[in-house]
Amino acid sequence: MTANRRFESKVVLVTGGTSGLGYDGALAFAKEGAKVVIAGRRVKEGEEAAAAIKQDGGEALFVRADVSNEGDVQGLVKACVDNYGGLDCAYNNAGIDGTIMTSLVDYRKDVWDQVMATNLTGMFLCMKYEIPEMIKRGGGSIVNMSALGGLKAGKRVGVAYITSKHGVGGLTKTGAIEYADKGIRVNAVCPGIIKTPLSFRTFLKDEAALQHANSMHPIGRVGTPEEISALVLWLCSQEAGFVTGAIIPIDGGLSIT
């Protein structure tokens, strides 16, 4: 465990915490003293994530939940309260990519509905039930996962994905302005291409694809999960106490190209 314990005794919820950015974020919060509730649909991976935190001396609980299901989200937030007494921070990371390399006209409505249900409605539901519990604690911090696709569009990236991530920005700003006077800060992060299992299935399939992705970023490389987690933890900490309603690119300069 690290000497820096910014989240000692804090209760942190991480959705989509079974792999990728959510998994890394959950481990990072735990290393700084948080009691972490990991949510996801995959039970085996979720239990393994919680076990990894416990093995490192941290405290964690896995709760199976589909964020598009209101009952699941209610139960998830209730589990935070029942097991750890409340909720201080939330990293709303759960999301799916839908269909890439498909034009708007050819995009299937059922896929659109699935992406919207998880990426946008799911985030709304999380905030709907997280915020009241944070108010009971006198305040809290929420970080929503957006994407570079929440700042700009691209051909055949997937209309549902792009639209949902733009929607995350509006949801984040609305939550920030409505609950600032209750001590709730709400921000969103917009990563570029990051070395995660999802990226390796899509943008980083082979060495040539990796080199192309590296070249797209002015900084000359793609990002790492640890770099995203560092920003998320800072936003949730008191060090970022004057930051709310921000939609922050963390993309090696890709959004300014």
**What residues act catalytically?**
161
Q: Within 10 Å of residue 145's Cβ, how many Cβ atoms? A: 25
d(CA 211, CA 204): 9
**Sole residue written with tokens 């989240």:** 7
Residue 14: helix, strand or coil by DSSP?
strand
B/e letters for 95-133, b = 16+ CB within 10 Å, e = fewer, are bbbbbeebeeeebeeebbebbbbbbbbbbbbbbebbbeb
Asked whether 35 and 85 are in contact (CB, 8 A), the reply is no
List the beta strands (DSSP E) in the chain.
11-15, 35-40, 59-64, 89-92, 140-145, 184-191, 247-250
d(CA 205, CA 201): 6
d(CA 211, CA 37): 36
The DSSP bridge partners found for residue 63 are: 39
Q: Which two tokens stand for residue 232?
A: 């998320």
Asked whether 53 and 29 are in contact (CB, 8 A), the reply is no
